[in-house]
Structure 1
Amino acid sequence: MWRVIWTALVGGLAVLFDTTIVAVALHTLATKLDASVATIQWVSTGYLLALAVVMPVTGWAQRTIGRKRVWMIALTVFMVGSILSSLAWNVESLIAFRALQGVGGGALMPLMGTIVVQASGGKNLGRIMSIIGIPIVLGPVLGPVLGGLILQNLSWPWLFWVNVPVCLIGLVMAALFLPKDPAVTRAHFDAVGFVLLAPGLVALLYGLSNAGQAGGFAQGDVEVPLIGGVILVAGFVWWALRHRGKALLDLQLLKYWPLASASLVQFFSGVSLIGAMLLVPLYFQELRGTSALGAGLILIAQGAGALAVRSFIGRLSDRFGARWLVVTGFFIVLLGTVPFAFADTTTNWVTLIAALFVRGLGLGVVTTPLMTVGFRGLPGPDVPDASIISRVSQQLGGSFGGAVLTVILAGAATTAAATGAHGLSVAAFQQSFWWATGFTALGVALSFLLPASLPAAAPHPGGAGTKTEESAPAAR
């Protein structure tokens, strides 16, 4: 079992760090490739949108092709996209190759959850997820540091070459350790559901990615995609509920409260957990004058806090369930965010680094039980769709959180400028961090929706015979 779990972790490692590594390099890429700021943003946006197209079809691909085959194909696609990105000759080619990376990454992320949960047979999920969750927690922290080090000491193509050895090792491990795919049958492909859901997710993520520009949410390239995305996703929900057992995603699984409540909390936690991560490095760079690499190094304190609790939080999750751990974790994140709401240009560095460490403790407490609770008690064949639902919730929540707090910061800066302040003022950051604190308090409240105890095994909400995928080996 552990060989399978480590295989999934190594294979997904490059994807988990790639987004934040590239994010810190956009300015350098714009300079080297002679591209405008608006154009270079598509290096990240194109990757994100490709991710959204592929995620919904991952469950169908597993049932049709086989889990091991899909994993190795997706990892190969991501590696080829990385190699081609490193060889890009202009910004247009880089955007296209990054989208290819996104195709591979979009399949790998939900697959990682499926492989891990089914390999465990549903046992010791907290302990296992505490290991799988390490790069998920550390990616936003260490990714900028690694990206900064590469840009400082090497050329920009190494931002992508660094993925290649990880992918090669992951492919070798997958060939050796992932269970052989059983005989598969051609599963029904829900073309109508795909036409509704994939463009709907793309439109939502595209609209949210544009919200950080001047004008915030009150601009056409934000409002139109968001409205269109909501309509398409609502159309998919209507379609899926009318075609039980044949829809692209089995939304009947949301009748299982642990999964439904975890998905809801994961979405709204994006504002407080991921959104605030955009504010912290900006504060250090804009108000304290640190470099991008310096801000990344300071954030290591948060990663250290997250690592400090990983060794035992998984065991606590397996023993006590999710609710009280997640409530406690969000409260600790709140305590670590409040000092930034009072911070100015003279605030003691030790105080802020200690606050980041406390935030990290809270993130470590929240992540494992929240990743785990939605899978507890689910039959093996239901895990792929549950993993996709969970991953989509995380992706949309993170994008929503980043967009909301970016708009709040920009609005506060505009208000400050009207009073004569220049740039991103102390008041703008303080106001934004107070909003982040309020959203974290909302996370505390929503966490009470999670199950108070470990859920028992749940029958498939859609009834017997609605899935064609094999059960997990441990469940057979």
Structure 2
Amino acid sequence: MSMDNAAPPTAAADAERIGPDLWWLTGILVLGGFATLLDSTIVNVAVGTLAKEFDAGLSAVQWSVTGYLLALCMTIPLSGWAVERFGAKQTWLFSQVVFLAGSLLAGLSWSVQSLIVFRVLQGVGGGLVMPVGQSLLAQAAGTKRLGRLMGIVSIPAMFAPVVGPTLGGVVIDHIGWRWIFYLNLPLGLATIVFSLMKISNVVAPGRSRLDVLGLALLAPGLGAFLYGLSEVGSQGGFDNDGTIAGLVVGAVLILAFCGHALRTRFAPLMDLRLFKERNFRSGTSATFFLSMAMFGAMIPLPLYFQLVRGADVMESGLLLMPQSIGYFLAIVVVGKLTAALGARSVSIAGVFLAVIGTVPFGLITADSSKVLLCSSMVVRGFGFGAAMLPCMTTAYSGLKSASVPHATSAFNIFQRIGASLGTAALAVVLQQRATAELDGRAAGLTQVLPGGDVAHSLAGAFSVTFWWALGLTVLALLPCVTLPGRVPRDDSAPASRTAQLTEPAV
């Protein structure tokens, strides 16, 4: 039998080998992404300190947190157009420079108004970082290498919510509040220097028309909708006029954008027609539900340790670390497992592990073993890592290189909406169950003395909340079933071929 048409073993090995250039790119993306995700949580612990510093109300200072998150979310839709028009490297550098400038100015703030403005500037830069970074990686890596590398790039998303409050508390207590912003400066400068040295455009920029109407609909629509969800989480319900207005206005604008995107003759700001691609549709929808389940529990988990068990911010952060460790362990093995068993099997198995890791939290009491809970978090983190990484790989497999920027924008938007929906849902459940458990003994969770008898009685409220978290995890099984049974062949994906041919440009 002739072997002329057979692929040489070395060619197949090269298609999966991760060279130094790709490792450099991955490291730069992790470095650049960590600071922006850290800023989503690190300022939360400084709200009280900032209110005293600027002699302002807590609600006013809270806008320094809300403004950053809204600006970040509203900027994401621009990432696809910016990459096509100016190039991924140029857009990445722009995002880092803007975020760095915002960090410096936020640290120099002289009033609460100036702080809010500079935090919004930070959010504009931060909103471009993740989708543009993923676009760079998807174009450069190819299908066979993308899952492993995308998992590494997503590590900051797991560690930032854990490290942020802990690091913020230490910095404020020992150095001063301005340094929660100045910490970004060395990270940002290092990212910019390494990016200039090691990153080049895989796909050359070209002429791309900005969808102005789409921007006018989608950006404020996302901002209003996510603001409404954040208010649902903080208020613990829908009985606030601002909450309802945000959700309704946001939903109307987003639906109007969907109609526009499907009818326009030009390239829309977010190309919904990508969902006609089976792999992108199944990978993105699975990630949406998995984000609901995984990030939704990131609020009740630390609150349980701080309120019921009386742990301080640093201790609760350390107690959450096992989940991030489990997620990291999944990255090490999930690539080979997916290649051998297929995305569908690995994701479904991951969801089952996440369910097993969540069950002990549904049975939680005021005296539950910390060793058991930490061990369960390792299993939970591993399960979510094993479930999500094949979804990310699947979403980008088979896409043409020209479609990747818009795909990363849509993927990040759905992932963020899923995380916000999960957070809001579990926050409402926790607030309502806690109110029932307190039965007038305290006005709310913020009025409960941590570690006291009243706090111990709230363990039941957290137990119910974690059962809801388990329900969201089970719900994620539905889209995982639609994933392909095996990873698509790398030589059939146009994006992969282009990426492999142009890898030396990275």
Q: TM-score, normalised by structure 2?
A: 0.87
> Is this contact kept in 1: 2:166–2:317, CA < 8 A?
yes
Of 377-386 and 213-222, deviating more is 213-222
- Other-structure match for 2:501: 474
- Other-structure match for 1:19: 40
* CA 35–324 in structure 1, closer or farther in 2 if over 3 Å, else same: farther
Q: Which residues of 2 match residues 217-232 of structure 1 at below 5 A? A: 217-232=238-253
* Aligned partner (choices 150, 155, 162) of residue 129 of structure 1: 150
SS at match of 2:96: helix
* Aligned partner (choices 363, 366, 375) of residue 345 of structure 1: 366
Which letter does structure 1 place at the counterpart of 2:172?
A: L
| Cα deviation 1:390-410 (Å, max 9, x = unaligned) | 100111111111111111111
> Is this contact kept in 1: 2:271–2:410, CA < 8 A?
no
Q: CA deviation at 1:341?
A: 1.8
Q: CA deviation at 1:134?
A: 2.1
Between the aligned partners of 2:294 and 2:501, the Cα distance in structure 1 is 34
* CA 11–420 in structure 1, closer or farther in 2 if over 3 Å, else same: closer
> Is this contact kept in 2: 1:13–1:135, CA < 8 A?
yes
> Is this contact kept in 1: 2:202–2:502, CA < 8 A?
no
Does structure 1 residue 427 correspond to structure 2 residue 455?
A: no
* CA 380–349 in structure 1, closer or farther in 2 if over 3 Å, else same: same
> Is this contact kept in 1: 2:79–2:132, CA < 8 A?
yes
Of 225-234 and 386-395, deviating more is 225-234
- Other-structure match for 1:447: 480
Q: CA deviation at 1:181?
A: 7.8
* Aligned partner (choices 410, 417, 428) of residue 396 of structure 1: 417
Between the aligned partners of 1:26 and 1:322, the Cα distance in structure 2 is 42
Does structure 1 residue 187 correspond to structure 2 residue 208?
A: yes
Structure of greater Rg: 2
Between the aligned partners of 1:345 and 1:122, the Cα distance in structure 2 is 46
Of 48-57 and 179-188, deviating more is 179-188
Between the aligned partners of 2:351 and 2:57, the Cα distance in structure 1 is 39
Q: CA deviation at 1:326?
A: 1.8
| Cα deviation 1:112-151 (Å, max 9, x = unaligned) | 1000011113341122223222222222222333223323
Of 450-459 and 238-247, deviating more is 450-459
SS at match of 2:476: helix
Does structure 1 residue 362 correspond to structure 2 residue 383?
A: yes
- Other-structure match for 1:302: 323
Q: CA deviation at 1:297?
A: 1.3
Between the aligned partners of 1:320 and 1:135, the Cα distance in structure 2 is 27
Between the aligned partners of 2:368 and 2:241, the Cα distance in structure 1 is 40
* CA 289–59 in structure 1, closer or farther in 2 if over 3 Å, else same: same
Count of residues paired in the alignment:
467
Between the aligned partners of 1:355 and 1:59, the Cα distance in structure 2 is 38
* CA 421–47 in structure 1, closer or farther in 2 if over 3 Å, else same: closer
Runs of 5+ unmatched residues, structure 1: 461-470
Which letter does structure 2 place at the counterpart of 1:455?
A: P
Between the aligned partners of 1:351 and 1:184, the Cα distance in structure 2 is 52
SS at match of 2:365: coil
Between the aligned partners of 1:236 and 1:122, the Cα distance in structure 2 is 31
SS at match of 1:371: helix
> Is this contact kept in 2: 1:79–1:163, CA < 8 A?
yes
SS at match of 2:396: coil
Between the aligned partners of 1:79 and 1:347, the Cα distance in structure 2 is 43
Q: Which residues of 2 match residues 114-153 of structure 1 at below 5 A? A: 114-153=135-174
- Other-structure match for 2:231: 210
Q: CA deviation at 1:102?
A: 0.5
Which letter does structure 1 place at the counterpart of 2:142?
A: G
SS at match of 1:138: helix
Q: CA deviation at 1:105?
A: 0.7
> Is this contact kept in 1: 2:33–2:130, CA < 8 A?
yes
Aligned-residue CA RMSD (Å)? 2.3
Q: Which residues of 2 match residues 72-83 of structure 1 at below 5 A? A: 72-83=93-104
- Other-structure match for 1:464: none
| Cα deviation 1:340-398 (Å, max 9, x = unaligned) | 22222222222222222222222322232222210011111110011001100111111
* CA 473–316 in structure 1, closer or farther in 2 if over 3 Å, else same: closer
Which letter does structure 1 place at the counterpart of 2:367?
A: T
| Cα deviation 1:281-312 (Å, max 9, x = unaligned) | 00011101111111111111222222223212
* CA 184–390 in structure 1, closer or farther in 2 if over 3 Å, else same: closer
Which letter does structure 2 place at the counterpart of 1:432?
A: T
Between the aligned partners of 1:351 and 1:215, the Cα distance in structure 2 is 29
> Is this contact kept in 2: 1:125–1:318, CA < 8 A?
no
Q: CA deviation at 1:442?
A: 1.0
* Aligned partner (choices 274, 277, 285) of residue 256 of structure 1: 277
> Identity across aligned pairs (percent)?
39
Does structure 1 residue 290 correspond to structure 2 residue 323?
A: no
Of 277-286 and 224-233, deviating more is 224-233
* Aligned partner (choices 55, 64, 68) of residue 43 of structure 1: 64
* Aligned partner (choices 414, 421, 428) of residue 407 of structure 1: 428
Of 200-209 and 302-311, deviating more is 302-311
- Other-structure match for 2:27: 6
* CA 433–35 in structure 1, closer or farther in 2 if over 3 Å, else same: farther
Of 163-172 and 9-18, deviating more is 9-18
Of 385-394 and 421-430, deviating more is 421-430
> Is this contact kept in 2: 1:55–1:388, CA < 8 A?
yes
Q: TM-score, normalised by structure 1?
A: 0.92
Between the aligned partners of 1:105 and 1:167, the Cα distance in structure 2 is 11
> Is this contact kept in 1: 2:356–2:380, CA < 8 A?
yes
- Other-structure match for 1:463: none
Which letter does structure 2 place at the counterpart of 1:246?
A: A
Does structure 1 residue 437 correspond to structure 2 residue 470?
A: yes
* CA 53–145 in structure 1, closer or farther in 2 if over 3 Å, else same: same
Between the aligned partners of 1:104 and 1:256, the Cα distance in structure 2 is 30
Of 287-296 and 183-192, deviating more is 183-192
Between the aligned partners of 1:182 and 1:435, the Cα distance in structure 2 is 44
- Other-structure match for 1:272: 293
- Other-structure match for 1:28: 49
| Cα deviation 1:424-470 (Å, max 9, x = unaligned) | 5222111111111111111133321222222354689xxxxxxxxxx
Runs of 5+ unmatched residues, structure 2: 1-20, 446-457
Between the aligned partners of 1:222 and 1:409, the Cα distance in structure 2 is 18
> Is this contact kept in 1: 2:75–2:127, CA < 8 A?
yes
